[in-house]
């Protein structure tokens, strides 16, 4: 059994299966979630549920966080009863959320002043990748810290890419979200176009997905768009949070991103109809409405 004690904060749609995979790999895991009942399933695999992020840190050598947004990471790491109240020199904090690169650097600096290493390691692959431990993990931080934690990452994902210093993992994740956003718009437009033309959209996806236009979005989310299966693998409201991070970083860098901005506006229309908790494939509702499809 691996002798690194893992703390895990955030057992939501992604975090719970990721924590389960760490337990299955033999790591001792102490978990915390704001709604404690959502961490309870880990007990069946031998996990321990803690009452606070501070308690998680007290029981751990490496603490992983995967929560919704930048303020949430700041709270569990730096806030009252947070990780920072129980850290010890030599510990490592791995943030696998998608948050502001600028704030990531600030948190890493605060932890480094206390002798604690930090890695920003956001993921791609959705709930399916989290369950099957096939996530793509993009990491920023000191390379020697990445190597120290490699067995942990390998229990949760199949692709680990070192991206550079703290904040660069988050920057690469934002590149991922830019690409996903435009892919979602393209797939939704293709589905609406096929339906309007009287073509079975599933037939269209089978053909297009096998060629140069094929992508994960087309092949995995395309059929869900066609059949209006909007169960979330990744929710619209979280995609919107990520696109806001993209726009903020783009503004700071002076980069124009018209495709990502379009996706953001179309998702705003989904949210306006109460679709924030739907899967991102629900973007097709907007393109169908624009095509006057019922």
What is the percent of the chain where pLDDT is above 70?
A: 100
**Active-site residue list:** 173
Q: What is the pLDDT of residues 114-164, one digit of tens each?
A: 999 999 999 999 899 999 999 999 999 999 999 999 999 999 999 999 999
| Cα angle: 83, vertex 84, 89; to 5 degrees | 105
**pTM for the whole structure:** 0.93
Average pLDDT of the residues in 78-88: 97
Q: Domains in the chain, ordered, with CATH?
A: 6-164 (3.40.50.720), 171-290 (1.10.1040.10)
Nearest C-alpha neighbor of 138 from the set 110, 111, 103, 177: 177
Mind listing the pLDDT tens digit for each residue in 172-182?
A: 999 999 999 99
- Dihedral sign of CA atoms 198, 200, 204, 209 in order: positive
Mean residue pLDDT of the chain comes to 97
The average pLDDT across 71-86 equals: 97
- Asked if 9 and 76 count as a contact pair (C-beta separation under 8 A), the reply is yes
């Amino acid at each position: 059994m691996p002798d690194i004690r893992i703390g895990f904060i955030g057992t939501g749609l992604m975090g719970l299966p990721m924590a389960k995979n760490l337990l299955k790999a033999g790591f001792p895991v102490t978990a915390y979630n704001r709604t404690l009942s959502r961490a309870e399933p880990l007990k069946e695999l031998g996990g321990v549920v803690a009452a606070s992020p501070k308690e998680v840190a007290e029981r751990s050598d490496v603490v992983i966080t995967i929560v919704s947004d930048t303020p949430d990471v700041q709270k569990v790491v730096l806030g009252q009863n947070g990780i920072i109240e129980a850290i010890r020199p030599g510990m490592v904090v791995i943030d696998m959320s998608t948050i502001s690169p600028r704030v990531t650097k600030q948190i890493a600096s605060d932890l480094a002043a206390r002798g604690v290493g930090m890695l920003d390691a956001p993921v791609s692959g959705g709930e399916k990748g989290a369950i099957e431990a096939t996530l793509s993990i993009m990491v920023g931080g000191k390379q020697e810290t990445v190597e120290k934690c490699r067995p942990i990452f390998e229990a949760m994902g199949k692709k680990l890419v070192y991206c550079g210093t703290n904040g660069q993992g988050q920057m690469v994740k934002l590149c991922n979200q830019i690409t996903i956003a435009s892919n979602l718009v393209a797939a939704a437009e293709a589905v609406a176009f096929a339906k309007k033309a009287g073509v079975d959209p599933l037939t269209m996806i089978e053909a297009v997905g096998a060629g140069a236009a094929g992508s994960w979005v087309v092949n995995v989310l395309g059929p869900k768009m066609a059949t209006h299966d909007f169960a979330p693998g990744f929710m619209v409201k979280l995609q919107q949070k990520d696109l806001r991070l993209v726009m903020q970083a783009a503004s700071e860098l002076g980069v124009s991103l018209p495709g990502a901005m379009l996706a953001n506006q179309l998702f705003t229309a989904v949210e306006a109809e109460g679709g924030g908790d739907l899967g991102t494939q629900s973007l097709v509702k907007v393109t169908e409405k624009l095509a006057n499809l019922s």
